Structure 1
Amino acid sequence: MIDWSELGGAPPPLVFRRRPLADAEEVLVLSYTCDLGFFEDVCLPQIRPTRARTTVLYDAARLTGRSQRDQPADYLALPVACRNGAAFHPKLVVIASATEAVISIGSGNATASGWHHNAEVWTHLHLTEPTVPQLCHDLADWLRRLGDILWMEDIGRERLERTAQLLRHRPVAGTSSDLVLLTSDHTPIMDQLRPLLSRATSARLAVASPFFDTQAEALRTLVELVRPESTQLLLTRHVQGDPVALKSALARAGTWQARPPLHYARYHHGKIIEWITPGAAWAVTGSANCTRAALMRAADSGGNCELALLAPIGASLVEAIADDPIDLDYVEYVSPAPESEQTPPLLVLGIRAHGSWVEVNVLVHRGATPQLVEVGGRSLAHARSSGRVHTYVTEFDAEWFAALSGTARVSWSSGDESGDAEAVVTDVGRAIARVEQPSPLENNAWDRVIGDEALRAALLYALAHLRTVRPEELTSPHASMSRRRLVTDAITMATGPALLRFTLGGAVARPDDRGGEEPGDQADRSLPPPTSRDVDQRQRARLRQFAHRVLDAMDGAAMPAALASARTVLLIIAADVFDEPAEWLALLERSVLLVWTTPTEQALEAEQAALTTIGLVALARGLSAYPEAHPDLRRSFEALRDAGRQQVDHLRGAPDESLRGYAADLTGSAFGYGFPWLDFRDELSWILARSALADAVDRLPAATLRDGVVNVATTTVLARRVLLHALDELRQFPDTRVVVEGVTAMCGWWNGRRLLQVIYKGGRWQAEVWHNLPTGIAAYARGVAQLRRPDRQWTVDDPVLALEQADRRP
């Protein structure tokens, strides 16, 4: 349950993190300036778990931070331009489904400054009832009218229309609302306020704005309409305005004060116009500065495109944040920004893949329209026009499109004009599709996911849903689409891009990697990272159980789910939550078997080879470190090793990037602290070249293997027990010759029922044999029982001859 009292005035990233709609259909963001890198890093990970389609509209001339993606975008970043040449200036966030909506109207742009550093004003409306206030329908109507105000791509109109449909899905409530939406498309905001302002009597007027027009015309008009008894101006540092013009505008403002904000060092970008009378108090908040372009001109007459909210207030907003009065002459002013250079003749709006074709959309401000544009070495021909927006089209080619990455340069030439510009590359199909079951990795670091029971359950659910991706059943919609693109797209649509990256060996997100997480946020109150130092025994037991549940759920899984599940288990093993090596070795063996025995998928061969290689190396090292491992586990490893020898070229073909990616976080006492930095190809070659006998000999103290003979060095006088111990440890290798080199020279063979030992005495070799020892020789090796008299004794010239004679009956 969201506590909205904690979110009053909060910036959008915090609202996204709290996810007021668990299953939103649309997220729409309108902004003047925009930093796409900030939005992708801080906001998208919080939006993805809601499965919402995400659209960001921003002024085409005000992109302050480029996209940081290395692949085509799966959300819509749409630059727009006002047809009148003014600023597209609204600040709006809509999170909507058919039954619920959050509408946030504010002053902050979608940048780190606007949504984090600056002081801003936000109003959030959470609409959950069967009916909605009139403002909701008014906002829907305004979104639809934007198509007449802005130059934009067709996909932008479609997303605005879909959001409008959701906002209008519920009827208007029978009771009136005090909230009034103010837009500037046809009527200036000042004219909409005029009747209410002119009726104010004995009013106190307060204005907060970081921008005033040069002649302070908007402020002058406010003063003339309200005729206030007193006036306050909240002036942030670096306010844009002219002190002489401000004083002139305030000449009829009654008593007036200029006041800085309490926290003067912080830039106050919020906009407030409020008037308080003995009987009522009102405030206008939103995007409109106290300027002529924002308040006194409509968009269809050359004014800005603005969005504001008129609402009653219980107390002054300005006084709550104002400091002591200051002389206007001592305020830190900045001059109005110089007029920008002439608008470029052509703006690139975006590069969009639509099914079987790719289009580039451009806005031509002046000059001839190019007949061709070029992207990534390919020419696109002019296909259609909609006013000044022109569309260039080419057939979809998967390899070419994938090479464009997240952004690409578009070049053009027309008459005497030529140029190029960078544009966002978008896979529209993915952007407007909804992920079926997003994993918690979308907006949580790995440590948090496995440290929180609810998030672990969500991860298990996502892994189980990943089983529905069966590559053998996929068919490509385009002849040029690669098999890998087909499979990775299916994974993304099933469980989201974060689990795709995880499946393919991408970096595991750690707490510092997740943008937007602030100290004190509710999400930070989960369990600590699950290491042996920080997790109690109950939590460790739950993690062990979770690892088993992951593998239990993978029966019959295809390769995507097998890779993701096996990697999950390996990371849990690396967290050092297992008390007994036998348990994690068994889980490791199951994980390797899962990946190795799952039918190979061509698109994921590299990942299968890499994770199998890492698993084999880890299993070999684990079995070597823990000699008491169960014989069944060793037999399984031998079967895997034999299979690896048959597919050695496949395993050696694992790319370095995949090997390093999967191994990156596998450090700790289980795998060894240097495990991620091993040369896995060399390790694999060494493992495959060895035999099971060689591995077994390595586990014996002071033992070596040469030409099939095991040599054990000892200085003890109990050479016979050393011999018996070695033979017992090598019981899986019947009649392997063991030679003990020490005070007494001897050798022996053991086949599970017959024991033969040959001892050098008096210059000759004396052989002794015992038949029918069904209980083995372990007790004799430990010295807790004595061997009976041998069944036969004889002398031989060469110990090897004793083995030929051992089974002969006297």
Structure 2
Amino acid sequence: MRSDVLKVISSARDVTNAIVLTHNIDFVFVQTVALSAFHRCGHPTITVFADSRSAADSFAQQKVILTDLGVRYRVVPIAMGPGFRFHPKAVLLSGEHAGVLLVGSGNLTLGGWRENGEVWTRFDSESDGAGPFHAFRNYLAEVLTRVLLPDAVKGDGEEAFDPRSKSWLSTGSTDDGGLVGRTGSGPTLLEQILVASGDEPVEELYVCSPYFDNDGVALRELVASVGARRATILCQAGRTALHQRAWEPTATIAKLQNIDYRHPGFADRERSAFMHAKFYGLRRQDDVVVLAGSANCSRAALTVQGNAGNAELMAVRVLTPQAFQEEFLGELHVSAEPVILSQELSGEDDEESPGTALRILAARFEAGCLLVGYAPSSAAVTDCLVDGTTVPFAKSGNGVLSVSCGSDPKLVSIRAWIDDELVESETAWIDLERQLRATARGRSLA
């Protein structure tokens, strides 16, 4: 949990492609801090997949000072169903000779990549083989089915996993493994947790999550389904979103453990930091199955079935009890003080703002043509504004319009009729494909 993602990136060498999954994104952090780390590891192409609502909110607040978005790095908004989030967190560093994959709980912010108590599982192609990377590629393929105007983005992924230039993809075990997740379809994460735990009885269940659904349904179902002899819920007093009403249905079959995370501070003084890590440990007789990553203990993350729910991603490992103690429990400061839970209801991780009914989910410019993908596709678009000026446009497919531009555009918004109401989208950034397609070698010489 003391992994510093920025140091991992900075210490990598000859990286040609970087792919990041995140819920929240701080564009200023990317521009002022993260890009410097990527610069040191080889000037890779950078593709970030982020929750569409969170990305739009952050961009609205920070757009006036952004210069590299859509030019030096690409951000791909991913929209889930109403009330659900694109919530996985991962970093792939792909080079010609090796690959590194981090799967964890931290958003693309200073807190997520350095300051919070986060959990990250690291896979190295040299020691772990290609299996986890193939599993991540398959997960990414599911994410891409939710992307508007996907061709350029697919090209980013294909280059990162091109076996002709990434020979390490065929070394060691190439069986998919090490990851479980979903993108709003398929088995629930709770079902996948139960499969990962196998048929052997679970002696103790450990749950570490900062957020829970307000009725405590997911926690109750998790504890009951695992059927462990003991269940321990790790709670950071004063910062957990678990409240009394959500805890009461599970209180008779589980216990709360007061924990804290201490972050190294100035002058070697430790300070308490927000414990944002999510992990589930299932201790069996001789080992511990650990699932660590993005999923909170909520219905949206663990139990919603069908084509709903969050997109989540978890790494799976089987550790010795000693390794689990050292890598997870040993990172925490345990207190005998009781956890006093709030009586007030609180929302899950990163409560969403309502946003607008009309959203731009992609805007790509190349060779004089700007393509804009929007939702809902049924909206009757009346106006398109490029850099604040109304311009002519043409429909170019379901939920897509095209605009001819004489120079590189920066910002776009649209107006449309939805349910007899004229609404305007939030302003969106534009990806300049020629600049984004520059090779790592070309950028290093610039």
Q: Provide the TM-score with structure 1 as the length reference.
A: 0.48
Alpha-carbon offset, residue 135 of structure 1: 2.2
User: How far apart are the structure 2 equivalents of 1:156 and 1:312?
Assistant: 34
Aligned residue for 2:249? 248
- Pick 1 or 2: higher relative contact order, CA cutoff 8 A, min separation 6: 2
Aligned residue for 1:37? 28
Contact 1:48 1:438 in 2 (8 A): no
Aligned residue for 1:191? 191
User: How far apart are the structure 2 equivalents of 1:200 and 1:89?
Assistant: 30
Aligned residue for 1:353? 365
Within 5 Å, give how 1:644-793 maps onto structure 2.
none
Q: SS where residue 246 of structure 2 aligns?
A: helix
User: How far apart are the structure 2 equivalents of 1:161 and 1:311?
Assistant: 27
RMSD (Å) for aligned C-alpha atoms: 3.0
Aligned residue for 1:308? 314
Alpha-carbon offset, residue 262 of structure 1: 4.4
Question: Which deviates more from structure 2 when the two are superposed, residues 82-91 or residues 280-289?
Answer: 82-91
Q: SS where residue 324 of structure 2 aligns?
A: coil
Aligned residue for 1:626? none
Aligned residue for 1:56? 48
Contact 2:20 2:48 in 1 (8 A): yes
Aligned residue for 2:16? 25
User: How far apart are the structure 2 equivalents of 1:199 and 1:325?
Assistant: 33
User: How far apart are the structure 1 equivalents of 2:149 and 2:243?
Assistant: 36
Alpha-carbon offset, residue 434 of structure 1: 1.2
- Work out whether 1:281 is the aligned partner of 2:288: yes
Q: SS where residue 212 of structure 1 aligns?
A: coil
Aligned residue for 1:221? 221
- Work out whether 1:297 is the aligned partner of 2:304: yes
User: How far apart are the structure 1 equivalents of 2:404 and 2:124?
Assistant: 43
Aligned residue for 2:267? none
Aligned residue for 1:412? 415
Opposite residue 234 of structure 1, the aligned amino acid is L
Aligned residue for 1:688? none
Contact 2:230 2:253 in 1 (8 A): no
Aligned residue for 2:3? 10
- The 3 A distance-change label for structure 1 pair 228 and 157 is same
Aligned residue for 1:492? none
Opposite residue 33 of structure 1, the aligned amino acid is N
Alpha-carbon offset, residue 248 of structure 1: 2.1
- The 3 A distance-change label for structure 1 pair 169 and 196 is closer
- Work out whether 1:155 is the aligned partner of 2:160: no
Alpha-carbon offset, residue 74 of structure 1: 2.5
User: How far apart are the structure 2 equivalents of 1:142 and 1:202?
Assistant: 28
User: How far apart are the structure 1 equivalents of 2:244 and 2:162?
Assistant: 47
- The 3 A distance-change label for structure 1 pair 161 and 86 is farther
Contact 1:73 1:424 in 2 (8 A): no
User: How far apart are the structure 1 equivalents of 2:73 and 2:340?
Assistant: 47
The CA deviation string for residues 700-743 of structure 1, in whole angstroms up to 9 with x for no partner, is xxxxxxxxxxxxxxxxxxxxxxxxxxxxxxxxxxxxxxxxxxxx
Alpha-carbon offset, residue 359 of structure 1: 2.5
Q: SS where residue 169 of structure 2 aligns?
A: coil
Q: SS where residue 249 of structure 2 aligns?
A: helix
- The 3 A distance-change label for structure 1 pair 416 and 383 is same
Alpha-carbon offset, residue 385 of structure 1: 2.8
Within 5 Å, give how 1:398-477 maps onto structure 2.
398=407, 401=408, 404=409, 407-414=410-417, 416-436=421-441, 438=443
Within 5 Å, give how 1:39-188 maps onto structure 2.
39-49=30-40, 50-63=42-55, 64=58, 66-67=62-63, 68-70=65-67, 73-83=71-81, 86-128=84-126, 132-149=129-146, 153-165=150-162, 170-171=169-170, 173-174=172-173, 180-185=178-183, 186-188=186-188
Aligned residue for 1:455? none
Q: SS where residue 301 of structure 1 aligns?
A: coil
Contact 1:90 1:306 in 2 (8 A): yes
The structure where strand makes up a greater share of residues is 2
Contact 2:213 2:246 in 1 (8 A): no
User: How far apart are the structure 2 equivalents of 1:53 and 1:196?
Assistant: 34
Which structure 2 residue ranges, 5 or more long, are not aligned?
263-270
Which residue, 375, 379, 384 being the options, matches 2:391? 379
Q: SS where residue 160 of structure 1 aligns?
A: helix
User: How far apart are the structure 2 equivalents of 1:152 and 1:292?
Assistant: 31
Question: Which deviates more from structure 2 when the two are superposed, residues 120-129 or residues 268-277?
Answer: 120-129
Contact 2:244 2:343 in 1 (8 A): no
Opposite residue 133 of structure 2, the aligned amino acid is C
The CA deviation string for residues 270-322 of structure 1, in whole angstroms up to 9 with x for no partner, is 00110222311121101011111111235x53111100011022223135304
Contact 1:207 1:274 in 2 (8 A): yes
User: How far apart are the structure 2 equivalents of 1:194 and 1:295?
Assistant: 11
- The 3 A distance-change label for structure 1 pair 369 and 227 is same
Alpha-carbon offset, residue 146 of structure 1: 1.6
- The 3 A distance-change label for structure 1 pair 372 and 194 is same
User: How far apart are the structure 1 equivalents of 2:431 and 2:175?
Assistant: 42
Aligned residue for 1:716? none
Aligned pair count? 417
- The 3 A distance-change label for structure 1 pair 260 and 36 is same
- The 3 A distance-change label for structure 1 pair 168 and 36 is farther
The CA deviation string for residues 601-635 of structure 1, in whole angstroms up to 9 with x for no partner, is xxxxxxxxxxxxxxxxxxxxxxxxxxxxxxxxxxx
- The 3 A distance-change label for structure 1 pair 116 and 195 is closer
- The 3 A distance-change label for structure 1 pair 184 and 438 is closer
User: How far apart are the structure 1 equivalents of 2:160 and 2:317?
Assistant: 23
Aligned residue for 2:268? none
User: How far apart are the structure 2 equivalents of 1:211 and 1:110?
Assistant: 19
User: How far apart are the structure 1 equivalents of 2:333 and 2:289?
Assistant: 18
Alpha-carbon offset, residue 372 of structure 1: 3.9
Aligned residue for 1:258? 257
Alpha-carbon offset, residue 339 of structure 1: 7.5
Alpha-carbon offset, residue 334 of structure 1: 6.0
Q: SS where residue 306 of structure 1 aligns?
A: strand
Aligned residue for 1:509? none
Opposite residue 394 of structure 1, the aligned amino acid is V
The CA deviation string for residues 520-548 of structure 1, in whole angstroms up to 9 with x for no partner, is xxxxxxxxxxxxxxxxxxxxxxxxxxxxx
Alpha-carbon offset, residue 361 of structure 1: 2.7
Aligned residue for 1:270? 277
Opposite residue 277 of structure 1, the aligned amino acid is R
The CA deviation string for residues 620-662 of structure 1, in whole angstroms up to 9 with x for no partner, is xxxxxxxxxxxxxxxxxxxxxxxxxxxxxxxxxxxxxxxxxxx
Contact 2:412 2:430 in 1 (8 A): no
User: How far apart are the structure 2 equivalents of 1:361 and 1:304?
Assistant: 22
Q: SS where residue 315 of structure 1 aligns?
A: helix
User: How far apart are the structure 2 equivalents of 1:328 and 1:170?
Assistant: 47
Contact 2:242 2:342 in 1 (8 A): no
Question: Which deviates more from structure 2 when the two are superposed, residues 337-346 or residues 348-357?
Answer: 337-346
Aligned residue for 1:370? 381
Q: SS where residue 105 of structure 1 aligns?
A: strand
User: How far apart are the structure 2 equivalents of 1:257 and 1:239?
Assistant: 11
- The 3 A distance-change label for structure 1 pair 169 and 364 is farther
The structure where helix makes up a greater share of residues is 1
- The 3 A distance-change label for structure 1 pair 197 and 326 is farther
Alpha-carbon offset, residue 85 of structure 1: 5.5
User: How far apart are the structure 1 equivalents of 2:330 and 2:224?
Assistant: 22
Which structure 1 residue ranges, 5 or more long, are not aligned?
1-7, 440-494, 497-810
User: How far apart are the structure 1 equivalents of 2:272 and 2:200?
Assistant: 34
Q: Provide the TM-score with structure 2 as the length reference.
A: 0.83
User: How far apart are the structure 1 equivalents of 2:101 and 2:145?
Assistant: 22
User: How far apart are the structure 1 equivalents of 2:440 and 2:335?
Assistant: 52
Aligned residue for 1:489? none
Contact 2:23 2:50 in 1 (8 A): yes
Q: SS where residue 79 of structure 2 aligns?
A: strand
Contact 2:5 2:114 in 1 (8 A): no
- The 3 A distance-change label for structure 1 pair 10 and 111 is same
